[in-house]
Amino acid sequence: MPGIDFRQLRASVSMGEVLELLGFVAWRRTGEQVRGICPLHADASAAGKQRTFSAHLARHAFQCFKCRAQGNPLDLWSRASKQPLYEAAVDLCARLHKEVPWLAKRTEKRNS
């Protein structure tokens, strides 16, 4: 399998894009920070009560204070889609109509 440049991918995908794909509805917004029901363990019975999820759109970071999940947009997509990171990265790029940032193949030999 060819490698993915995860650093480049994380820089090109915004938290807002991933939250939109997940159908996240912000209950409260303060500047670049949004809060609402965690898309990883959303509970319909607690829809109006639980606002444990927080995402900072400018920092591209999220945190849930209930399930303790945290990370960047790719981590969020990987957890929400229940896929390993590699497959989640390819899937996310396809859904966002972005090119997968493949790593360049190494042509030089390593020293033994």
Would you list the DSSP string of the chain?
---B-HHHHHHHS-HHHHHHHTT---SEEETTEEEE--TTS--GGGTTT---EEEETTTTEEEETTT--EE-HHHHHHHHHT--HHHHHHHHHHHTT----BPPPP-SPPP-
**107 found inside a domain:** no
Residue 36 falls within a domain, yes or no? yes
Q: State how many domains the chain has.
A: 1
17 in a structural domain = yes
Q: For the domain that residue 77 is a member of, what is the CATH number?
A: 3.90.580.10
pTM, entire model: 0.85
Supply the range of the domain harboring residue 34.
6-95
Q: Per-residue pLDDT tens for 6-52?
A: 999 999 999 999 999 999 999 999 999 999 999 998 665 555 566 78
